[in-house]
Amino acid sequence: MIRSFVAWLALTMSVMAFAQGAAPVDFTDLVAKSTPSVVNITTVIDGKPAPGTQMPNEMRQYFKHFGIPEMPTPDYGRGMPKRGQGSGFIVSADGYVLTNAHVVADADEVTVKLNDRRKFQAKVIGSDKTTDVALIKINADNLTPVSIGDPSQLKVGEWVLAIGEPFGFENSVTAGIVSAKGRSLPQENYVPFIQTDAAVNPGNSGGPLLNMRGEVVGINSQIVSRSGGYMGLSFAIPINVAMNVANQIKADGKVSRGRLGVSIQEINADLAESFGLKKTSGALVTEVEPDSPADKAGIKQSDIIIEYDGKPIDTSFDLPRLVGASKPGSKARITVWRKGATRELTAQVGEMASSKTAGVNNAQSNMAGLTVSPLRPEHKKQLGIESGVLVEEATGLAARAGIQPGDIIMAVGNVAVNDAKELAGALDVKGRKTVALLVKRGDYSSYVPLRLD
């Protein structure tokens, strides 16, 4: 009787408080704490040359025949630059910022604006399209990094906040709850998304998702919508996944993922019954790649992988995430269901082929707009050079300077370069607005001035 009265009294007081206008949740302190760490990101993609504006091949052959060095192609007819915007957040006091890979993809210029209105040109350290995570860097002081939370501690139904720049409205704050965890989206096999109903719109991409302690638990990445705008389905990349990618990019210039070498499908009730399983969990192996880590471990077609390295496989989506997170070369214990019984196998995890845009080692210097690849020793010998990288694409500042695909950049000033990392380092010259690139085009070599601003 007393307990019932106490419960009734508590409920009555809550209703009265709400009726008197008391806010159910107060986000003000959380927002004040977090906003200085959130940044606005604007990007510029230079227009490509319009058709017919490149020098005709006959003209090039004419110049070559008479020994006249080919002049850089003028910028007449270039398309209009494309501008984009997004969000990000500071993860270290020395200027590292996390955002989405799609926010800075193909950008020739990346500008970061802080909460105190300061603006900085950013350098893209690396990006990973697979997880949609990018790490960029600014040279700034008095920065306030975010606090990193633990997404595994999130509970469905708890409050979360999103901060970003939807449609250009800076530092917009929206609130919602965690709708679900571990969501899988089409073509997204390596991210267990956090689903929320916090309003997220174009421009929010790359901004933080915060728990009620003011800790970042995710990066707002995408929405599911029939209208192109917010419809209550927002998805964030768990911050532990994002930080793992960022740390690999920072340390190695690329992202390494484990590889098993199997094709799999989901288990439904009918398939579970046909294979003698009591529940619809696991990943059904439909194909094993010859000579792959799975093949060498003894995994066979029609096996059902029910556990990977001590972790249960509830759905087939769990397996790519766990394998991808494994360190290449490590050993993984795999439990399979085969012919009505479990078997324990051990696989030595392979390495997935890395994406070309995974990091600085594969060569995009966004500061200059150059995408390059290293030259093999035999190619250098044929060309009669001791150093150099092959230009695969030139946009932005590099294109304006007249650099073209097929050119070979042998040095920056008097610093020889042999790969993308060396090129990016040589271009990162503080206090100088112009550098000289030693460029070999055909049979001729010359220095080309490249402005860095």
pLDDT, tens digit, 9 for 90 and up, residues 313-364:
998 889 999 999 899 999 999 999 998 999 999 999 999 875 433 333 334 4
147 HSE (CA, 13 A, CB side)? 12
Query: Is residue 366 very low, low, confident or very high in pLDDT (cuts 50, 70, 90)?
Result: very low
State the Rg of the chain over Cα. Answer: 27
pLDDT of residue 357: 33
pLDDT of residue 69: 52
pLDDT of residue 102: 93
d(Cα 22, Cα 28) in Å, to the nearest integer? 14
Query: What is the overall mean pLDDT for the chain?
Result: 83
Mean pLDDT across 144-155:
95
Positions of E strands within 203-348: 208-210, 215-223, 234-238, 258-259, 262-266, 283-288, 304-308, 311-312, 331-338, 341-348
Mean pLDDT across 94-112:
93
Residue pLDDT, tens place only, 301-311: 989 999 999 99
Query: Is residue 377 very low, low, confident or very high in pLDDT (cuts 50, 70, 90)?
Result: confident
Mean pLDDT across 166-187:
89
Least confident window among 5-9, 399-403, 427-431: 5-9
**Position 352, amino acid:** M
Question: How much of the chain is in helix, strand and coil states, percent to nearest 5?
Answer: 25, 35, 40
**Res 20 pLDDT > 80:** no
Query: Is residue 48 very low, low, confident or very high in pLDDT (cuts 50, 70, 90)?
Result: low
Which has the higher per-residue pLDDT, 234 or 62?
234
Which has the higher per-residue pLDDT, 435 or 5?
435
Least confident window among 23-27, 179-183, 303-307: 23-27
Query: Is residue 51 very low, low, confident or very high in pLDDT (cuts 50, 70, 90)?
Result: very low
Mean pLDDT across 28-38:
93
Domains and CATH numbers, the chain: 34-137 (2.40.10.10), 147-252 (2.40.10.10), 258-351 (2.30.42.10), 363-451 (2.30.42.10)
d(Cα 386, Cα 310) in Å, to the nearest integer? 51
178 HSE (CA, 13 A, CB side)? 25
pLDDT of residue 218: 96
- Check residue 425 and give left, alpha or beta (phi > 0: left; psi -120 to 50: alpha): alpha
pLDDT of residue 65: 47
d(Cα 387, Cα 373) in Å, to the nearest integer? 12
Mean pLDDT across 288-308:
93
**Res 14 pLDDT > 80:** no
CA distances from residue 228 to 171, 223, 233, 336 in whole angstroms, order as listed? 21, 8, 12, 42
Query: Is residue 398 very low, low, confident or very high in pLDDT (cuts 50, 70, 90)?
Result: confident
pLDDT of residue 141: 87
Those residues whose C-beta lies under 8 Å from the C-beta of residue 220, and which sit 6 or more positions away, are: 87, 162, 164, 198, 200, 204, 205, 206, 207, 208, 209, 234, 235, 236
Least confident window among 231-240, 270-279, 353-362: 353-362
Residue 271 CA to its chain's centroid (Å): 36
CB 303 within 8 A of CB 337: yes
Which has the higher per-residue pLDDT, 271 or 353?
271
**Res 140 pLDDT > 70:** yes
pLDDT of residue 426: 83
pLDDT of residue 369: 77
Alpha helices in 341-383 (DSSP H): 377-383
Residue pLDDT, tens place only, 190-219: 899 999 999 999 889 999 999 999 999 999
Q: Which residue, 389, 400, 391, 393, is CA-closest to 453?
A: 400
pLDDT of residue 453: 66
Q: What does pTM read for this prediction?
A: 0.68
pLDDT of residue 72: 52
**Hey, which residues are catalytic here?**
102, 132, 205
Residue 424 CA to its chain's centroid (Å): 19
pLDDT of residue 125: 93
